[in-house]
Structure 1
Amino acid sequence: MQPLQPIHRRGNRSVVEDMTSSNIDLYLISLLDEPYEQELLRNPYSLKSWQRYINHKSRAPLPERVFVYERACLDLPGSYKLWKEYLELRVRHLSAINPARYADEFEKVNDAFEKSLVLLNKMPRIWEMYLEFLMSQPLITRTRRTFDKALRALPLTQHERIWKMYLPWAKSAGGETAMRVWKRYMQIAPEQVESYIDVLIENEYFGLAAKEYLKVLNNTKFRSLEGKSHFQLWTEMCDILVHHPRSIPAEINVEKIIRSGIQKFTDQRGKLWTSLATYFISLGDFERARDIFEEGITTVITVRDFTQVFDAYAEYEESLIAEKMQDAEEGNTTPEDDLDLDIRMARFEQLMDRRPFLVNDVLLRQNPHNTEEWQKRVSLWANNPEMVVKTYTDALATIHHKKATGKLAQIWVNFAKFYEEGGRMTEARQILEKSTNVTYKTVNELADIWIEWAEMELRQDEADRAFAVMKKATEGPRKSTVDFNDDTLTPQARLHKCMKLWSFYVDLEEGLGTVETTKAVYDRIMELRIATAQIIVNYANFLEENEYFEESFKVYERGVDVFTYPIAFELWNLYLSKFIKRYGGTQLERARDLFEQALENCPPKFAKPIFLLYADLEEQHGLARHVMRIYDRAASAVAEEDRKDIYDLYIAKSVSQFGLTSARPIYERAIAALPDAEARDMAIDFADMERRLGEIDRARVILAHASQFCDPRTQPSFWQKWHDFEVKHGNEDTFKEMLRIKRTVQAQYNTDINYIAATAATGTSPTEREDAMAALEREAQAPVGFVASSTGPVGGTLKRKAEDEGPETTDAPANVDEIMMDDDDI
């Protein structure tokens, strides 16, 4: 290939000279390139000419293409398109080789970029290409300076494109480079401070990271781009301060910061106390760390926080002991070290022994008015009487009677028992007397104090003192108008109406007092109108046991005057039963008056037992007609669900006293008064009675009457009984009448709206009803128990099957003269 001599000149220098200065071989022009070279001689500054020349060389070796690009860029140094294509070509050529091994080749391309940026320094894409190329080379300083030059050269609106490359590169470079680059970036993007902090932490600039955290936390307008809360940021800063204390500058007061967090984040106090102690441990200040742990376990107010601090404290002490023991095993200790180890062991044992007391302190700090926790604290000091007394004293001084959780009275009682067990009865009585003046939340608590006082006197065999205590406790105005449930009054003002206190007083009198004193206490309860039904019964039983029968009956009478039903029902039952047991029939009129009083305002659902007791009395000691009258009254006075039982008893008594016929009017009234289901059963029994008497027609009429509330589809048993009755006692006409009534009743139920709705609710389908109707028609045409009429002179005569005949073994021939009866003829 013969090279073509370049002939155009640029000033006083030829193209050949320029190419020589650029280290480009002159023998890269072939004869095929001559037309393009001639065109460039005529118009060397035409971009299109150079572009056609470059396209012509697109398949040429790299040196020839570079030769053309170099000449083009020399003639058109401000062409962005030419420079971009040229630089992409050079970069693409070096993309697969090692930049450290072929540093010279990479430097040539770097120089080409520098040349292009002389006039194209406002083109961000050229900068991006150059920076990407530099980032692939081990040239940290040159790359950083090039990034800085790009930021200085480009307008501010284009900086974001550079920063997107600059920041990741700086982060990968690490060290001071990353810190300074990100610090510069914070000037234009302060909202990215969290990423800046992450970079500082990664590069172990913990002091700077802590300062940035402080700036963020002190800025009330800061909003985290990562969605972190104020507490999360504070926790992250706290972790840095605790785990890297020696990197934190002196101007940052770590202890003050963590203590402020303890006051602010109350639900994280355990963790923060542990962190503060860990900070001093990291600094090697072990005594200060121990003081922090002690302060933490004595100030936290939740068991969870206490557990965190205590466990960390115990682990810290164990680690120190283990280290000392290891040194002792290796023989690297002095007598002073052995003494220090013994001190640490004793301190650790004491810490573990204090744990129950510390937990109790935590719970009492949560609620100083918790009586149960105070009791637990007393039990912890069980072997130390002085501390027990001090604990009781502190508890009673701390607990407010209106805020107490649990029974405050129990604290006073247990305090008195403590002195009682020690034989110091004077102090025990003084405590209980003082406790009676406390304003408790409820009257029952005050009553417990007085009862415990009386029981204490009984345990000391001081019965007189016990009576005196109860007498003093129940003192009150003779005619009291105080409302026991009036919370505006103090418990002391309402105590004389406390039934719990009076119940104990009554038991005390019954056990150790006399009859008269016991009666006086019961009478006082009745005067105050606080007696319960149980008190009435107990008083009456007490009088009865002491043979004051009439007085016990008066007590029952007072009780039924005070209480209404249903309580009065129980009292009347007891009263009437005991009266009958006592007098039987000797005072029949008085007993009748009592029963009449009991039944006067008695609700129906409670009347049945009283009526039965009344009837039994008349039956045993009175007249039969009185018994019937009582049952007659009961039938209409008792509840609806009890009426059938009363009618059954009424009928049974009437039959036993006056015969079967006397039950007819009772049956009639029962059928009229009872519901359909019970009236049906009553009618069946009535018909059965008439049948036994031989009154077949009366029985048939009763069954016909009962059929009106017996649907054939739901009550087949009734119709079966009627069917059996007609088979046994009827004839063809009565049987047909029964069938006619059956169809009429069924038709009536078919047209009853309420019955149809009820049937629909049970899920009975129309097809089932039609099938049932068809079966009824077949039954009407071929009644069971009868045979068809014969063809003889007595045709049409009803014939019953002989009872002693067996089933027919041959089929009878069809009777062509048999009369077919229509349904209308039946």
Structure 2
Amino acid sequence: MPSSSSISQDLYPSQDDLLYEEEILRNPFTLKLWCRYLIARSESPFKKRFVIYERALRALPGSYKLWHAYLRERLDLVRNLPLTHSQYETLNNTFERALVTTHKMPRIWIMYLQTLTHQKLLTRTRRTFDRALCALPVTQHDRIWEPYLVFVTQKGVPIETSLREAAERLASVLNDDMFLSIKGKTRHGLWLELCDLLTKHANQVKGLNVDPIIRGGIRKFTDQVGMLWISLAKYYIRRKLHEKARDVFEEGMSTVVTARDFGVIFDSYLKKMGKSDEEEEDNGEENGFGEEFERKMILHGFWLNEKNDIDLRFARFDYLMERRPELANSVLLRQNPHNVEQWQRRVKLFEGNPKRQILTYTEAVRTIDPMKSVGKPHTLWVAFAKLYEHHKDLANARVIFDKAVQVNYKTVDDLASVWCEWAEMELKHNNFKGALDLMRRATAEPSVEVKRRAAADGNEPVQMKLHKSLRLWTLYVDLEESRGTSNLESTRAVYERILDLRIATPQIIINYACFLEENKYFEDAFKVYERGVKIFKYPHVKDIWVTYLSKFVKRYGKTKLERARELFQNAIETAPADQLKPLYLRYAKMEEEYGLAMRAMKVYDEATKAVPNNEKLSMYEIYIARASDIFGKRSTRKIYELAIQSGLPDKDVKTMCLKFAELEKKTFGEIDRARAIYGYASQFANPRSDPEFWKKWHEFEVQHGNEDTFREMLRIKRSVSASYSQVSLLVLFLQTHFILPEYLMQKDQTVNLDEAKDKLKQAGVPEDEMAALERQLAPATNDAAPKERKVGFVSAGVESQTDGGLRVGANHEDIELPEESESDDEEKVEIAQKDVPSAVFGSLIRGREESDNESCLGALERIKRHKTK
């Protein structure tokens, strides 16, 4: 064994160390030189290397590489030593020195923590773990938690320590608002983990104040707090504090603001009632609330954990079930205390308990702010008063109504409803005078001082506008009117006040006038009508005019005819076109009954010009019908002519022409006039889209025509069809090449060829293209193209028109038909045979042999055979 002098000699540098020592003296802060020195003396005793390490760390105290190598060698030094050896304490001190400068190095911490765990120094190890977690960033905590969990699960470590430590760590994390879980856990989820830890091990975490911790989480989360309340209740259940747990459940149900949280707490409350203490201790999870519930309650007992209190426990259970609707309603009211409907439902829950209903109404009207309310808050006041009325307490009902009318509601109508309900209550109990007094009080206009004070406050209550409530005035006037003729002046005063306030409706005007008529004030009633027609405009004034005119005509008849005519003229002048027809009909009816028939016809004539186009046809029909009844059917000819030429829509012109032709044919036997009317109407009937018109003309010619007239009908039909075809082609061409106005693109719209050419010119189409288009659209004929046909209307007394129009008897536009025509219109033509004088057919019979190429010879042969017979 070497002596102490020889050992001390080994600690000093030898001759071989001079080279390293000189370099270190020149550069003492170079890590590389110290590492080379230590490698060179790797075989030296540890004490010598200990001196070199200490010198190096004195020069470089923050070198992780030096500290790590130094600590590893010290760990190897104590590896086989007992835990009580002094070298362990020296090692621990070295770790503490190293952590002064390397506290951000997780590897140093892990080596130190593993060493302490091996030494079984529980308190020091736990505190060192805490120091490591505080010193290292969050991203490196997972490297610390792994050895931490190994430590707390070691045999001999008290469970209270690990649980308390885990709870404290979770609590500190939740108190840190900047904490973010690297595993994506929410703060609510972490709170649930903490509560689960505290409740499952309630008896092992006695050092922590669990109640404030869980309540802190409840305050942080306004919703989804049902599980936190359940956790707090479980904590007290496992601590055998059953009454405290019941209070927690009750507090939770009375504070949560969502139906989901309420349902969770309520269901858990019931389930806990069906469990004994042994079940709570043996089973950490909740058992179902099933068919065995009653047996469990009887066998095990609950809450008080006594065997002789079953009646009390059943009573509590029944009480809880009875209170469920009330508790659920309270949750909804906590969500919005201004919800009128929920307050009304709460009142219904206490049906049969007037005291609770009164308390609920009182709480409701105190809580609800009318400006924030959902629903009509005045209905609560009315229902509150009616509750007292139902129990024969009219005095308190009047007190409630008196308070209700002082509330500042959202709208005037709400306040007026309260006044009306109050008055109706008084009427129900035969207090007619009291109801009238209420209406006078409600409709009284506030004084100027009150208005000025309300305007100064900047928040004008609805009471300032109540005197203009039509609902109140309507009830007021009904009450006054129901008192009979003895209060005529007071009723008139109410009506006049309504008119002065400019809140009257047309129905009020009519009611006022009818009231005056019932009391024989006819002229005053008509004055009211006059005021009404000046106040209102159409469409609101329509009913006033109708009532006014009918009442005036009914009363005066022919005695004041000029005045009635003036009224009708005023009504017509102010009415829009779509409202004129009923006025004109009333006007004409009055003239028929009390005036002159000619004036009635004049009124009908004015009406046909004034009504809108969609009503002209029906107006002409009425005009014609009345003229026929009064002056005979012959007088309707002129009306038909006016109707056809008045600018009716094409389809209405065609309808009117058909009726005119039917009149001429059946009534007067004027076949030529009827044929001329058919010819005029043909220009409005496209053979493709309106075959019905041509069918009627065909039948007409078969019954009353001859070969020439039938040919003329066919020619006109082809001409009309060709004109529509040309227009269709022209419109198609223009739609393809140009953007036309919308009215030119409508179906079956008649377009003049000259107008179309003008459109082409405006669009910039050259003249040669226009000529080519015209040639393309013109019908192909052997002769020159005929001029455009213009069918004129044959008026009364005119037989034909020569200026390019239709002429019966001399047809200059007759065309030659082929011998075998393929036209469907010429097939199977049968002319009705009649007894006609032979002079009519003389020339035709002589010319039969000369006209073998005509297409209608069959009809002529039948006519000849009929004549011969």
Q: TM-score range by the shorter chain?
A: 0.5 to 0.7
2:686 and 2:720 in contact (8 A); partners too: yes
| Counterpart residue number, 1:67 | none
Give secondary structure in 1 for the equivalent of 2:687: coil
Of 722, 732, 748, the residue aligned with 1:747 is 722
| Counterpart residue number, 2:473 | 502
Deviation at 1:354, TM superposition (A): 3.2
1:197 and 1:209 in contact (8 A); partners too: no
Given the two structures, how large is their TM-score scaled by the length of structure 2? 0.62
| Counterpart residue number, 1:443 | 412
Q: Structure 1 pair 478/394, CA: closer, same or farther in 2 (3 Å)?
A: closer
Q: Distance in 2 between matches of 1:720 and 1:336?
A: 104
Determine whether 1:489 maps to 2:546: no
Determine whether 1:406 maps to 2:398: no
Deviation at 1:417, TM superposition (A): 3.0
1:41-98 Cα offsets, whole Å, 9 max, x none, are xxxxxxxxxxxxxxxxxxxxxxxxxxxxxxxxxxxxxxxxxxxxxxxxxxxxxxxxxx
| Counterpart residue number, 1:732 | 707
| Counterpart residue number, 2:226 | 270
Give secondary structure in 2 for the equivalent of 1:589: helix
Of 709, 714, 737, the residue aligned with 2:689 is 714
Of 251, 261, 264, the residue aligned with 2:217 is 261
RMSD of Structure 2 on Structure 1 (CA): 4.6
Q: Which moved more, 1:718-727 or 1:679-688?
A: 718-727
1:568-599 Cα offsets, whole Å, 9 max, x none, are 12222222223333333343222222211111
Deviation at 1:495, TM superposition (A): 0.7
> Aligned runs of 1:459-608 on 2, under 5 Å?
459-476=428-445, 489-512=460-483, 514-608=487-581
Q: Structure 1 pair 411/198, CA: closer, same or farther in 2 (3 Å)?
A: farther
Of 295, 300, 325, the residue aligned with 2:251 is 295
Q: Which moved more, 1:435-444 or 1:344-353?
A: 344-353
Of 684, 703, 721, the residue aligned with 2:678 is 703
1:116-141 Cα offsets, whole Å, 9 max, x none, are xxxxxxxxxxxxxxxxxxxxxxxxxx
1:739 and 1:780 in contact (8 A); partners too: no
Of 181, 185, 200, the residue aligned with 1:228 is 185
Q: Structure 1 pair 344/201, CA: closer, same or farther in 2 (3 Å)?
A: farther
> Aligned runs of 1:83-482 on 2, under 5 Å?
190=140, 192=142, 209-214=166-171, 216-218=173-175, 222-247=179-204, 249-319=205-275, 337-381=306-350, 385-476=354-445
Q: Structure 1 pair 331/250, CA: closer, same or farther in 2 (3 Å)?
A: closer
Q: Which moved more, 1:336-345 or 1:264-273?
A: 336-345
Q: Distance in 2 between matches of 1:800 and 1:617?
A: 59
Q: Distance in 1 between matches of 2:585 and 2:206?
A: 100
Determine whether 1:785 maps to 2:754: no
Q: Structure 1 pair 331/713, CA: closer, same or farther in 2 (3 Å)?
A: closer
Read off the aligned partner of 2:496 and give its amino acid letter. Answer: D
Q: Distance in 2 between matches of 1:781 and 1:352?
A: 91
| Counterpart residue number, 2:640 | 667
| Counterpart residue number, 2:611 | 638
1:479 and 1:528 in contact (8 A); partners too: no
Unmatched runs of 5 consecutive residues or more in structure 1 = 1-158, 164-178, 764-768, 808-826
Q: Distance in 2 between matches of 1:496 and 1:666?
A: 57
Q: Which moved more, 1:601-610 or 1:541-550?
A: 541-550
Q: Which moved more, 1:725-734 or 1:624-633?
A: 725-734
1:276 and 1:292 in contact (8 A); partners too: yes
Q: Distance in 2 between matches of 1:384 and 1:520?
A: 47
1:191 and 1:225 in contact (8 A); partners too: no
| Counterpart residue number, 2:656 | 682
Q: Distance in 2 between matches of 1:662 and 1:744?
A: 34
Unmatched runs of 5 consecutive residues or more in structure 2 = 1-105, 111-125, 154-158, 280-292, 736-742, 749-776, 778-816, 832-843
| Counterpart residue number, 1:811 | none
1:693-746 Cα offsets, whole Å, 9 max, x none, are 343333332222211121111111212222233333333333333222222222
Q: Distance in 2 between matches of 1:332 and 1:274?
A: 20
Q: Distance in 2 between matches of 1:702 and 1:478?
A: 77
Q: Structure 1 pair 252/749, CA: closer, same or farther in 2 (3 Å)?
A: farther
1:540-576 Cα offsets, whole Å, 9 max, x none, are 3333344444333333222222111112122222222
Give secondary structure in 2 for the equivalent of 1:529: coil
1:503-550 Cα offsets, whole Å, 9 max, x none, are 111222233453333232222212211111222222233333444443
Q: Distance in 2 between matches of 1:272 and 1:533?
A: 65
Read off the aligned partner of 2:658 and give its amino acid letter. Answer: I
2:657 and 2:681 in contact (8 A); partners too: yes
1:401 and 1:440 in contact (8 A); partners too: yes
Give secondary structure in 1 for the equivalent of 2:439: helix
Q: Distance in 2 between matches of 1:328 and 1:759?
A: 91
Of 793, 801, 809, the residue aligned with 2:859 is 801
1:237-275 Cα offsets, whole Å, 9 max, x none, are 33333333345x445443333212211222112221112
Q: Structure 1 pair 465/208, CA: closer, same or farther in 2 (3 Å)?
A: same
1:200 and 1:208 in contact (8 A); partners too: no
1:321-373 Cα offsets, whole Å, 9 max, x none, are 9999879977999x994553333333333333333333333333222333343
Give secondary structure in 2 for the equivalent of 1:267: coil
Given the two structures, how large is their TM-score scaled by the length of structure 1? 0.65
Q: Which moved more, 1:277-286 or 1:391-400?
A: 391-400
Read off the aligned partner of 1:779 and give its amino acid letter. Answer: S
Deviation at 1:475, TM superposition (A): 1.1
Q: Distance in 1 between matches of 2:151 and 2:702?
A: 109
Give secondary structure in 2 for the equivalent of 1:564: coil
Q: Distance in 2 between matches of 1:218 and 1:525?
A: 69
